Structure 1
Amino acid sequence: MKRSLYAFRFNWIPAVMAACFLLAPGVPAHSDPTENTRLEMVRTQIAARDVRDPAVLAAMRTVKRHLFIPEGQERQAYDDRPVAIGHGQTISQPYIVALMTELARPRPNSKVLEIGSGSGYQAAVLAEIAEHVYTIEIVEPLAAWASQRLQRAGYNNVTVKHADGYFGWEEHAPFDAIVVTAAAPHIPPPLIAQLKDGGRMVIPVGSRFRTQQLVLVEKQGDRITTRNMLPVRFVPFTGVGERSGE
């Protein structure tokens, strides 16, 4: 922008005035009508609770959640609740997305695995922070939809795969962080195996008929520790573990 102002220096006054108007505070060249709504969402729903990581808060302010909501439901995009996206699936409440991201601790050089792409929103939030996100969706139409939405939103550092997330994505393992967005009856062993030493996994554990717990898994060498963070309610994991009733 400095170059543009310099070019205007020797032009006549009206041109300079026009340039100054375009650069004036409060008159953005490309305004985003949902920006204030996102800022309010982060202030009242997320920062007002217990999410403090600056990178997570910045990602939640940046990702346009309405782009990942089915047509006709965009008005619900920034509400403090999940939104149905079809096929018996939901896009999680904004606070839960932020909390799971903070617990996973992605960093700019992180490689992250997400199980349950859904609409692609959680992957987009992770992609704002991490170097690359690999995300798996077992419902084929949702995998295609998430891929399309992520590409349209400009997230070139996300790879979507239609597969059973129970087995993870061994080709790209190990992962610095793993985020699972459906409730599993137990923590899938393949995901533990694909977690990098020092890595963290966030996963809801429990059945659809009982209280589920959001569990933080940490891996230090051969030592695996788990901590229940808070009770949650997620749609059930539909991979091998769920079908076998394990």
Structure 2
Amino acid sequence: MTIDYAKARETMVEQQVRPWDVLDLRVLAALGTVPRDAFVPEAHRTLAYADLELPIGHGQSMMKPVVEGRMLQALDIDAGDEVLEIGTGSGFISACLGYLARDVLSLEVVAELADSARTRLAQHGHDNNVRVETADALAWETTRRFDAICVTAAVDTVPLRFIEWLRPGGRLFVVRGRAPVMDAVCLHNEVNGLRTESLFETELPYLAGAAPKPEFQL
């Protein structure tokens, strides 16, 4: 069976993403333009536009399209923004961020995922303003500051270093807490301090090293 991926992409945007209150036209354009099927492992490509999390290997997965849409919308990315992505994964969100922003740096701790994401991004022309670096975000050091930071895996608590990488006026999307109920939030670095905007409940795998510490039981 031959799948019309362009039609499937349009259906995903109109029947899944938009009804979940994703109304930002630039975000809808990004999700309607970047070929999600090109970033899905071959074994799951026919499900690229389904309302599902999809495994990408190494214990990682792609978020549901609706969660991706809400995340991109919450970050309110301007065409001149510099963006940091923590957790490249398949490279799909990296490509969407590149569609929306001026410059994207994406960190991926798993070398194999970083390599395959670089290849996909290059194959589909998204590597002109998106760079993937193999690094552990919990140990990575930088003097750069970013307008938006996108964390694509969950954390028990938000590492202070992530917040320190925000410029004044910057936004950070992250899913925090403990399963089965985690809270997707957008942190705003405002003049009067950090403002937390609670968005929705969801559940994601933890970022490597950011899971809850085991509790000792007597």
- Asked whether the two chains share a fold, i.e. TM above 0.5, the reply is yes
Q: State TM-score, norm by structure 1.
A: 0.81
Which residues of structure 1 form unaligned runs of 5+? 1-31
- Report the counterpart of residue 211 of structure 2 in structure 1: 242
What is the aligned partner in structure 2 of residue 22 from structure 1? none
**Residues 51-77 of structure 1 deviation map (CA, whole Å, 9 limit, x = unaligned):** 010100000100100110111211010
> What does residue 188 of structure 1 align with?
159
Q: Which residue of 2 aligns with 1:109?
A: 80
Counterpart position of 1:213:
183
Cα pair 2:180 2:203 within 8 Å, conserved: no
Range with bigger deviation, 215-224 or 38-47: 215-224
Q: Is the 8 A contact 2:171 2:187 kept in 1?
A: yes
2:29 to 55, 58, 63: 58
Q: 1:204 touches 1:213 (CA, 8 Å); kept in 2?
A: yes
Q: Is the 8 A contact 1:168 1:194 kept in 2?
A: no
Contact 2:156 2:212 in 1 (8 A): no
Measure how far apart 1:39 and its partner are: 0.8
Larger Rg: 1
| Cα offsets for 1:52-110 (capped at 9, x unmatched) | 10100000100100110111211010001110001110011111111100000111101
CA distance in 1, matches of 2:55, 2:6: 23
Cα drift, residue 42 of structure 1: 0.3
Per the TM alignment, residue 221 of structure 1 is displaced from its structure 2 partner at its CA by 3.3
Higher helix share: 1
Question: What's the counterpart of residue 127 of structure 1?
Answer: 98
Letter of the 2:148 partner, please give it: A
Determine helix, strand or coil for the equivalent of 1:170: coil
Within 2, Cα distance between the matches of 1:90 and 1:151?
21
Query: When you count strand as a share of all residues, which structure comes out higher?
Result: 2
- Across the aligned residues of Structure 1 and Structure 2, the Cα RMSD in angstroms comes to 1.8
User: Is contact 2:176-2:185 (8 Å) kept?
Assistant: yes
Q: How far apart are 1:48 and its partner, in Å?
A: 1.7
Runs of 4+ in 1 over 3 A off after TM superposition: 241-246
SS class of match (1:242) = coil
Cα distance in structure 1, aligned partners of 2:106 and 2:124: 16
Match of 2:10 in 1: 39
Contact 1:176 1:196 in 2 (8 A): yes
In structure 2, the gaps of 5 or more residues are none
- Pair 1:37–1:216, CA change in 2 (3 A): same
Pair 1:45–1:122, CA change in 2 (3 A): same
- Note the 1:53-92 alignment, pairs <5 A: 53-92=24-63
Partner SS for 1:35: helix
How many angstroms apart in 1 are the aligned matches of 2:139 and 2:99?
A: 25
In the superposition, the TM-score normalised over structure 2's length comes to 0.92
Residue of structure 1 equivalent to 2:198: 228
Q: Percent identity?
A: 34
Whether the 8 Å CA contact 1:104–1:177 is kept in 2: the answer is yes
